[in-house]
Structure 1
Amino acid sequence: MTGLPERARSRVRGATLVDVEHPLEPFWRGVIAYRLLTLLTVAGVTVYHLGSGYERPAAAVGVLLVMAAWTAVTSWGYLGGLPGAPDRRGRLALADLAVCVAIMATTPWVVRVDHLDAGGPGMGSIWTSGAVLACAVAYRVRGGTAAALVISAALVLSKERFGVLELGDIQLLVLAGLTVGFASHVLERTASRLRRLAAEQAAAAERERLTRSIHDGVLQVLAHVRRRGAEIGGAATELGVLAGEQETAVRALLSGSGTTDAHGRRDLAAALRILASERVTVAAPGRPVEFPAAVVDEVEGAVRAALANVALHAGPAARAWVLVEELPGAVEVSVRDDGPGIPEGRLAEAEAEGRLGVSRSIRGRVEEIGGTLTLDTGPDVGTEWVIRLHRGDT
């Protein structure tokens, strides 16, 4: 199945993949079937009343032929057209609506007044409601309702009357637009959840496979280095601490904190929790703090760079705290240490000397994702970096 092209996979019968990746395909095929059946109905009615119901019988036959040709065009288009082609069925549904209105507009010119007075249908009749269904599938409730109102207006204007018969037709059109539109919305939302669940299950299976492989190698080596470093003491102690930090980080990654969901989003809080160690304390909300994966990657990189500066400049005994805080419309990530602080003018001096570590690793990352960065530092007060991310509609 995975070797099939996307278009071919959408037509595989009896597979869950059809419902998840292309949930509205049965609705589009239903629109096609409805359009074909209503065309046959209208053709039968037209032939039956051809001698008495039409002012211009030849024009009625001509309009019927146009309807047949347009049915063929929409049937091909609603099937999806050529394999691999862009999905333009929404635009086709709007064009279908316009064609239906044009066909209904021929009613005063083609159909006899006494035929309409007797309750006879106008041009297009029930066939035109196919455009309402198509718009409902393409644009959900709003599209179905709007299309129903357009066809209803065209019905009243073309027949130049508004009675019980027309009111009943309008009610059916609106009901069809609302029902099919709502059903399409629910089905698409359900399929989206299924896709997300399938992606999470695949990621969990991959993590399980990696966990078995890494546990027998990398994790055991890191755990051994951590223990031996503590036993030997001296300079080896620092190596043991670093090995322990990396062991914690790898275990956190394997637990799923780095997983990107089906919508390309990651949990920022979970991504930063893996940075916790004996010298680094991380506090974050218990619920997910989701951002696009690229944003989380850059924030994580900036925080790692800030923590690396703590280890490099504040000494091995310095401690650091990472805090993730949710604010109205924003999220703040602060990295604070208890070191001696950055002397005034030191960062500018480093940039002048061509050493752009802070600018590129921290400030550059934050600016790249549209965030803001502030620095609070001074002698004997430590250093605090604050990254502010605007949530908006993310």
Structure 2
Amino acid sequence: MRTTSGDFRSRLRIPPPPINDLILAVVLTAASFLFILLAGPEILGGAVRSPDWLNLSLAALTTLPVALRRRWPFVVLVLTGLPEALAAALGYNAGLGAAGALVLLYTVAAYRGLALSLAAAAVCSVGYVTGVLLASRPMSWMDHVVTAVLIVLCWVVGRSVRLRRAYLAELTQRADRLERAREADTRAARAEERSRIARELHDVVAHHVSVMTVQASAARRMLDTDPGVARDALTAIEEMGRTAMAEMRSIVGVLRTDGPAEREPQPGMHDLPTLVEQMREAGLSIQLWIEGETPVLPPGVDLAAYRLVQEALTNSLRHAGPAARAWVTVRQEPGELMVHVEDDGRGAAAELVKNGAGSGHGLVGIRERVALYGGVLRIGPRDGGGFEVRARFPLKDRT
């Protein structure tokens, strides 16, 4: 119960006004007192009552509340108009209550919305008209013009400050949004680079390890009967391992550089004869046809087509069987590159795709590469038995 009452009192507690507003209110009140005590009828241009404690109290009520101008500016503006009107009705000198009202008008215009600032301007205008009607001396037209100009000027300056503050806040928010967008783009670029490196690593490791496994199996079988063949197979494994390490070192080296990485040339379609020869040494019978002129491909399409052939031949080596044959056809047509890899094996790869087990990183990587460049891909059983991978890459006119 004590805790609840303490929380209630803390919510009712009003924080102290800022020190600069408090100083402004005290200075304005002191100047108002001096003006009341020193200004006589010859200065005011009319008969006024002699200052007394009531006069000073009413003057203080029109200026001291300025200290609360940032918390309740409009409410304070309305409330300070009452003692000022009462002082004018009693024939007292209201002091600098009008200056306090202008300060409050500026505050409302600078820290509140348009509707409330217009209402504050109307309150000041009504307060001035009321003071004129209750004043003991007539007002000249110059007094009216000066007062109107001051009211409009305070309102315009306050609105300008508010609009400028809003503009600066919008610029800050826009800069924050641009910074967040730049960070998001950076994260997306890093994620894309990691995905690219993962695909490259998978293709390199899957191909070379599959070939090395086949060569090791052949070396094991021929070790006792034909050591020369086993020696050749082990030599091929050694060379394949060195090649795999060199490619992996080139790919992973991108991750070890803070600045732009200097990438070594990636393999492309011009390396197909070397790839086919490696697969033949591993025991897969392959025929390669390149129809049409040797295409000058964009680097991305060149690498994607090469990796597609590499992955397809690796799957044929692993799943097609020892007596299988494979055919690789590369044909450049007007505005299109066609890559076709097929084998006449026992169809184990086709069964993997049919049963859903072939949806691993290899086939997913092929689909991603082909889709990245707007190509069309078909993976599945081949008519007459076996398995095929067929892709078409669109080529832009490079004239």
Q: Structure 1 length as normaliser, TM-score?
A: 0.42
Q: Structure 2 length as normaliser, TM-score?
A: 0.41
User: Which is higher, the Rg of structure 1 or of structure 2?
Assistant: 2
